[in-house]
Amino acid sequence: MKNKTIFVACDTSNLKEIKKIINQTQTKKLKVIPKFGLQFFYAKNSRRFLEDFKKEFWLDLKINDIPQTALSAIESLKDLKKCGYITVHANGGLEMLKAIKKKAKSINKNIKVLGVTVLTSLNNKSLKKIGHTRSVNQLVLKQADLIKKSGCDGIVCSAQEAKIVRNKYKNLFIVTPGIRLPGDNANDQSRVMTPKDAFKNKVSGIVMGRSLIKGNIKINIQRLIDHLNK
């Protein structure tokens, strides 16, 4: 199972809790990488913590702006030497995606730029309210085409769309949020799946938050290992 990558969503602004999550999710049986989102990144003292962080991490900012502003944002992150993954939103368009990929690689050649598609909190009904005429599957595939064309390293989509994306792009790095252990509450997610089923859809890695960090973290990690071993 060591080849299975688990990104653990460190969704708190409390440094003490962050350190606990990082320490207690480590296991020799899985590759576990911390993911820091907006909640932590915007919190006091978080920037310095990431600057001094000694292990690979994912910075999930979902950058989405005009190309020059997006480039300036990437430039301001150049001191985060261990940032191995960063997210940009496909809604920013092809030119923004291409510009960010080029800039990010000039700062850190090993960083993976991941394009975010339709958020897992949305469904077909939600998209219609926004004004989209395509279904979730159609829109994700369209965004995947854009992300691939831009040269970005991978894509973020729900595990439900991962299969159709993988069928078209055999070697694309695909990460799927909205992952829950069997029996766990979906909370604010609309398109969820279990870890085992997600990996059956040939994803490259999965993002897990509440199923791992709520309650006893070590027990939750063991639940995940047992689930994947079944």
pLDDT in tens, 91-105: 999 999 999 999 999
Among 19-28, 49-58, 115-124, the range scoring the smallest mean pLDDT is 115-124
- Pick the catalytic residue: 20, 35, 44, 62? 62
CA dist 43 and 108 (Å) reads: 24
CATH number at residue 20: 3.20.20.70
pLDDT at 190 over 80: no
218 is catalytic: no
Mean pLDDT over each residue of the chain, to the nearest integer: 93
pLDDT (mean) for 192-197? 91
pLDDT confidence band for 189 (50 / 70 / 90): low
Q: How many domains does the chain have?
A: 1
Spacing of C-alpha 168 from chain mean position = 20
Phi-psi region of 5 (alpha: psi -120 to 50; beta: other; left: phi over 0): beta
Q: Can you give the residue range of the structural domain that contains 53?
A: 5-229
Of the candidates 2, 7, 36, 3, the residue with the CA atom closest to the CA atom of residue 175: 7
145 Cβ contact list (under 8 Å, min separation 6): none
